[in-house]
Structure 1
Amino acid sequence: MKKVVLLASAAILMGCFASCAGGNKKAEEAPAVDSTAVAATPEYKLMDLPTVDLSTFPKDADGWITLFDGKTMNGWRGYNREDVPTAWEVNDKAIHIKGSGAGEAGAKDGGDLVFAHKFKNFELELEWKVAKGANSGIFYLIQEVEGQPAYISAPECQVLDNENHPDAKMGKDGNRQSSSLYDMIPAKPQNSKPFGQWNKVKIMCYKGTVVHYQNDEPVVEYHLWTQQWKELLDASKFSKDKWPLAYELLLNCGGENKEGFIGLQDHGDDVWFRNIKIKLLD
């Protein structure tokens, strides 16, 4: 049974936007999470499924690696499986999850999708659009846990039709609206475009400091593996009292090596993703 080692780690984002200046100092000085305050680790099993050689994917002069070629599912597979669920398809140069209307991972052959390579420090860019009333998410630092959903171990950048999905009015202060750190930090300003239009997202993760951008504006910043991160979890649906295993995995998200998979969520609705690329910051 794998035990996850607690590390306190946060750092300055390379080229961080000006408003992050105060946050950088906070990240550097954030106290470590006290491991003695955490209860015994609930039992779980990590999967060991095939990964891909990232060097075989196109890379441009600026270091951006194409994760989706607009034609095939090369490099992608289902979460906790070796093939691509049939609920996912390539449609008009985008990855499309066909809405089942059956809720989260409710399709006959659905479930979340992951790119089969673990990432540590990176900038991820992509575009998404949703059908009316649709819900999805972008996960990062996923650990594949046997018998458990992807979101049990991974922070989520929310994908949502804010105007027509009820989740937009749940949570606290809009922290379930698009590009929010789901159920923890609201995206501000909330500048998403309505259903049927493309939204651009960038997620920057560097030594524990994470920033979400939506339509070219920074909207979320936080620091993994710090007291701030623990407090966010304590106040969320993933708290130790509500969901002990999720709390343990998220408190130590990324596992021993502080890395994990990137994933797209099947929430039972029609959602499209395109122009998916990543730059390594190691």
Structure 2
Amino acid sequence: MRKSIFYSIAMLAALLIAHPAFSQKVNKLTSQEKKDGWVLLFNGKNFDGWRQCNGTAMPANWKIEDDAMKVFTGEGKNPGQGANGDILFGKEKYKDFELSIDWKAGKMANSGIFYYVREVPGKPIYYAAPEIQVLDNKDATDNKIDSHLAGSLYDMIAADPATVHPAGEWNTCLIKVKDGKVTVSMNGTEVLSYTHWSDEWNQLVENSKFKNFEGFQEGISKEGFIGLQDHGYTVWFRNIKIRKL
């Protein structure tokens, strides 16, 4: 019996060493992350710092559940109908940064992670901001176009769907922006690489639905807010952290 217990302890210790995430608490920073300049944008307890896009308070269709921010179908709405619930971390704008965020999709879910959000009264969050897609790749109605699948630069560059875990399982998205150069990773695998304010970027916009968006015609901002989308489906977000570069 004693040998079996010692063996179990040894195996657990090996797992913790091999996979540090097992030992890291949700919505907490390790001492090394703090040294490296990471800060939390969500403390797991409340919406401190977050607010409605073009608003001052949190929308009613967001709540804290299981240490995560949860967006759900708004009252009186049907799935797929947002309830004006797009949100921003409104304390600060970011220019060069690394953003890490865990997300989990409900069945048929559709949402997005935005950066460089420029608030314009009467305009939606996607008016002039790049979006990394959040999606239930299997059952969402918007799964017919490759660049609309999870991890993609929405309607511009497709990500490899094999890097994305299915609905009901957590994914980690890492977005790095430095001097206009962007890389996006899903669950540890790089899936996107592109450069803002370049001929490549202009062509991506021209070949997308955004070519007729006034905000994209004006040009995306060189700094802005971090935002999350309410698309009328259930999605969870946690471990939201950022560091300036």
Give TM class, smaller chain.
0.7 to 0.9
> What SS class does the counterpart of residue 238 from structure 1 fall into?
helix
120, 134, 153: which is aligned to 1:145?
Answer: 120
Distance of aligned partners of 1:103 and 1:143 in 2 relative to their CA distance in 1, 3 Å threshold: farther
Structure 2 matches for 1:117-266, cutoff 5 A?
117-170=92-145, 174-188=146-160, 190-239=162-211, 243-249=212-218, 252-254=219-221, 258-266=222-230
Q: How far 1:246 moved relative to its partner? A: 3.5
Counterpart of 2:21? none
AA aligned opposite 1:129: K
* Contact map agreement 1:105 1:111 (CA 8 A) in 2: no
Q: How far has the Cα of 1:134 moved from its partner?
A: 0.5
Relative to 1, partners in 2 of residues 1:278 and 1:83: Cα closer, same or farther, differing over 3 Å?
A: same
SS at match of 1:231: helix
Q: Deviations over 1:194-249 (max 9, x none)?
A: 1000001000000100111000100000000011100000000111xxx2413324
Change (3 A) 1:244 1:266: closer
Q: Distance in 1 between matches of 2:238 and 2:98?
A: 16
Aligned length: 210
Cα distance, 1:214–1:245 mapped onto 2, change above 3 Å: same
SS in 1 for 2:143: helix
> Which one-letter code corresponds to 1:148 in the other structure?
K
Structure 2 residues without counterparts, runs of 5 or longer: 1-32
Q: Distance in 2 between matches of 1:197 and 1:153?
A: 30
Q: Is the 8 A contact 1:104 1:266 kept in 2?
A: no
3-state SS of 1:190 partner: helix
Task: Specify whether residues 98 and 205 from structure 1 end up closer, same or farther in structure 2 by C-alpha distance, changes over 3 A only.
Answer: same
In the alignment, residue 94 of structure 1 is paired with which amino acid? A
CA contact (8 A) 1:189 1:219 kept: no
TM-score (norm 1): 0.72
CA contact (8 A) 1:84 1:113 kept: yes
TM-score normalised by structure 2 residue count: 0.82
Alignment correspondent of 1:21: none
In the alignment, what sits opposite 1:82?
A: 56
**Structure-2 change in CA distance of 1:133 and 1:179 (3 Å):** same
Q: Which has the larger radius of gyration?
A: 2
Counterparts of 2:78 and 2:54 in 1: how far apart (Å)? Answer: 20
Give CA deviations for 1:83-110 in whole Å, capped at 9, x if unaligned. Answer: 1111111111101002235356632xx4
Judge conservation of contact 2:134–2:149 (CA < 8 Å) in 1: yes
Higher helix share: 2
Partner SS for 1:169? coil
Let me know the Cα RMSD of the aligned residues. 1.4
Structure 1 residue runs without a partner (length 5+): 1-58
- Aligned ranges for residues 50-65 of structure 1 at < 5 Å? 60-65=34-39
Deviation at 1:62, TM superposition (A): 1.8
Structure with more of its chain in strand, by fraction:
2
- Tell me, in whole angstroms, the C-alpha distance in 2 between the residues paired with 1:150 and 1:190: 28
Contact persistence 1:137–1:159 (CA under 8 A): yes
Identity %: 45
